[in-house]
Structure 1
Amino acid sequence: MTPPSILVCGTGIAGLACALGLSRAGLSVGLLGPRHVPAVRAADDYHPRVYAISDASRALLDRLGAWRLIDARRVTPVEAMEIHGDASGCLDLSAWQDARDALAWIVESGEIERALQQAVQVMGIAWHEDQFAGLITQSAGITVTTAQGRQWQPDLLIGADGARSPVRQAARIHHDYTPYGDMGVVAHLDIERPHQNRAYQWFTGDSVFALLPMPDTADGPQASLVWSMPEGAARDWMALDAQAQQAYLASHGQSITGGRLGRLRLRTQPQGFPLTLERTAMVAPGVALVGDAAHRVHPLAGQGLNLGLGDVQAMMQVLQARESYRSPGDPRVLARYRRQRAEPVWAMGAVTHGLHRLFGTQCAPLAWARNQGMQVADRLPFLKRQLIRAAAGD
């Protein structure tokens, strides 16, 4: 077998999309990592993790041939969104305000992975079910070693291997890590009132409570909860028995939402993950990072995966546009990739970090100002259009 020119380490959404995009661009690509095939779920059984897919990300998945493989019955368009401050502030965004069909699409992570895996199989991309073990960097290039003792010398190694990226560590790529001391807790809920394809978000001072629209079930309307809260409170809630967890949600959820969607009832066991702000240099000799290996932001904007798919899009563009005499791992090519992603990654990190700090500060004048600012923004159509376009990835 001819060794690939580009080796993508990581077989999650970012890695699969990257390998698929580069292969469709005519490049020689191989995948390195385990093959976890998502289970086919019953009609009313949903994967615990869902993503809000932006218009730009949906278009990319469509070009990769994956979007059409996702069961449309398990996809929910977000046609509007209400964002509530911790007092009187409220911002209401609707897709029609920018002549769009939807602001985003809510899709299970398992459904996206399943569709990408099918597309990778159709393209015949070589998938090496092995684990990255080490990296040797010399003047002549890089050598990748695996747990099973294999060795490759690709022109470019792409690390798409998650937030704890072994590739990033082996390549000694600079990594800034800022913990928030919070956790994101996710669960699916039965809701009493129809969501009407509307997403909701409430800032409460020490937490962010978000409800994302999901397909209805036999029990009625459903929403996905993403609740960012202090780590201690999150662990205490998740440690309770099922009845006590439900009572906690009913009490706090009713207080936060004001009964906007009626009674809230847990459908699934709450699961938590730590929240961090992470940035990296993104490249090293012969190595580039995409997705969570390259950056992580607070989930309050729901843009983490979209940012990673933006990396994939940029990688495709840079490698396709490179001069014919430059290899994929040429330092100038990698520098172009880093420059192209620097502003979007920095901007998203700044926005989410700034919002987290802004609503986490209980100073009375600042609380008044932020809620007044939301009210003013809600009365400015041109500003709403800009917010919608930024969220869409335009």
Structure 2
Amino acid sequence: MKFDIVVIGGGLVGASLLAALKDSGLKLALIESRVPAPLPADDSWDGRVYAISPGSIVFLQACGVWQRMDARRITAVHEMRVYGDDYAANINFSAYESGVPELACIIENRQLQHAVWETLAEADNVQLFCPAKYDALTWHDSHVELSLSDGTVLQTALLVGADGVNSRVREQAGISINHHSYHQTGVVANFEVERFHHGIASQWFRRDGILALLPLPEKRVSMVWSANTPFADELLAMPGEALCERVTQAAEQKLGTVRLITPQLGFPLNFVQAQSLVKSRLALIGDAAHGIHPLAGQGVNLGLRDARELATILLQADGWGDCGELSLLRRYERNRKEDILAMQWVTDGLHKLFGSEDAAIMRIRNLGLGITNRFPFLKNRLMRHALS
């Protein structure tokens, strides 16, 4: 079976790339090992949420995905308040000051995954291999050959690795990575709160980690607590009442008392930087290409910008030649390099800055928050990347 593009990895980034190409003349395929779970029949909430930037929303709208979302489960973020660890320093970001309707929209992982897979299921030029795994990849001058576990053999002009931070595609392509563990775990859970959040997302840089509370519909919030691993293990093992008390105290009771509505989950936090995003007949996108600390809530948006850029280049080249040509793929790599490096530098740098226990650095970092908050030009420069 021959295809123009085969994507390995059916997460949001990989699937959205194919959604962006669904109206092209390209023959597309997706290989995913797990069947996406159907949406639950009840009104329960997913513990994993995304903060989708305005630029990513425009991209998902162009793909025909965003329109499928249940608007009742989407919450606009109108303001972001960030607090230092001295209980005085802070910086506030406002959609009004930035000249946009919202800074981001908070949406559940499973809602967005469901919408993008529905879009692909209706596309005439997309073939889904799911559940399916590949056993081998063989590179040729004119194509890549994939042997699936059931014996099916595929040929593609371009292979896209979208198979996550531990990408097997990246490894088999011989692309090395820079990697280090943050020795932290992202602990996530959802809560009902006593006081309405008014569309405000809050974040606290604390000595025990970085706590973020993101607004959900009505009087609900989603927590992401990036905590040093020993403390994260404590949070994950806590009974619901104890966790609620800890979160209420850590959030300075700004939303009053909280009640747990989804059990806490944890995932390890790592820095990953692929040495190259491309080789002949291969492009990496999403977590297969880069992994950043979630303190800025930009990991998924960084991946969606990969998909958006690669789709733009492929659509421009459609009908002109081979979509797996290295010269074409290097254009994608060049266009993405600055954005990826900037976001990695900012998130990694902030993590190191607020992770330091040096007294002088502690004073400087909190002073820096206060100074930045008094200069709208600086704040708008910081927001420019986050909104794209």
| TM-score normalised to structure 1 length | 0.93
1:307 shift after superposition: 0.5
In the TM superposition, what whole-angstrom CA distance separates every residue of 1:84-120 from its partner, at most 9, and x where no partner exists?
Answer: 0111210011110022110000000111111111111
Q: SS in structure 2 opposite 1:36?
A: coil
Alignment CA distance shift 1:100-1:325 (3 Å): closer
Where does residue 311 of structure 1 map in the other structure? Answer: 306
Q: Distance in 2 between matches of 1:44 and 1:151?
A: 42
The number of residue pairs the alignment matches comes to 384
8 A contact 1:168–1:289 mirrored in 2: yes
1:371 shift after superposition: 1.1
Q: SS in structure 2 opposite 1:201?
A: strand
8 A contact 2:244–2:257 mirrored in 1: no
In the TM superposition, what whole-angstrom CA distance separates every residue of 1:179-229 from its partner, at most 9, and x where no partner exists?
Answer: 01000000001211110010000001330000000012xxxx110000000
1:24 shift after superposition: 2.5
Where does residue 86 of structure 1 map in the other structure? Answer: 85
Correspondence 1:226-305 to 2 at 5 A: 226-240=224-238, 242=239, 245-250=240-245, 252-280=246-274, 281-305=276-300
1:54 shift after superposition: 0.2
Q: SS in structure 1 opposite 2:312?
A: helix
Alignment-mate amino acid for residue 109 of structure 2: S
Q: SS in structure 1 opposite 2:331?
A: helix
1:141 shift after superposition: 3.3
Q: Distance in 1 between matches of 2:278 and 2:258?
A: 45
Percent sequence identity is 35
8 A contact 1:203–1:359 mirrored in 2: yes
Where does residue 138 of structure 2 map in the other structure? Answer: 136
The alignment status of 1:60 with 2:47, answered yes or no, reads: no
Q: Distance in 2 between matches of 1:182 and 1:273?
A: 9
1:237 shift after superposition: 2.6
Q: SS in structure 1 opposite 2:362?
A: helix
Correspondence 1:99-248 to 2 at 5 A: 99-124=99-124, 125-129=126-130, 130-216=132-218, 221-240=219-238, 242=239, 245-248=240-243
> Which shows bigger deviation, 125-134 or 316-325?
316-325
Alignment-mate amino acid for residue 322 of structure 2: S
8 A contact 2:208–2:231 mirrored in 1: no
1:328 shift after superposition: 0.9
1:283 shift after superposition: 1.4
Q: Distance in 1 between matches of 2:320 and 2:254?
A: 60
Structure 2: any 5+ residue segments left out of the alignment? none
In the TM superposition, what whole-angstrom CA distance separates every residue of 1:322-376 from its partner, at most 9, and x where no partner exists?
Answer: 3855311101111111111111111111100000001011222211111111111
Alignment-mate amino acid for residue 134 of structure 2: F
Where does residue 372 of structure 1 map in the other structure? Answer: 367
Q: Distance in 2 between matches of 1:255 and 1:121?
A: 46
8 A contact 1:38–1:111 mirrored in 2: no
Q: SS in structure 1 opposite 2:29?
A: strand
| TM-score normalised to structure 2 length | 0.95
Q: SS in structure 2 opposite 1:341?
A: helix
Q: Distance in 2 between matches of 1:323 and 1:262?
A: 55
Q: Distance in 2 between matches of 1:174 and 1:340?
A: 20
Alignment-mate amino acid for residue 257 of structure 2: R
Alignment-mate amino acid for residue 39 of structure 1: P
Q: Distance in 1 between matches of 2:2 and 2:337?
A: 31
Post-superposition, which runs of at least 4 consecutive aligned residues in structure 1 deviate over 6 A?
none
Alignment CA distance shift 1:140-1:97 (3 Å): closer
> Which shows bigger deviation, 277-286 or 293-302?
277-286
Q: Distance in 1 between matches of 2:303 and 2:167?
A: 14
Q: Distance in 2 between matches of 1:63 and 1:248?
A: 40
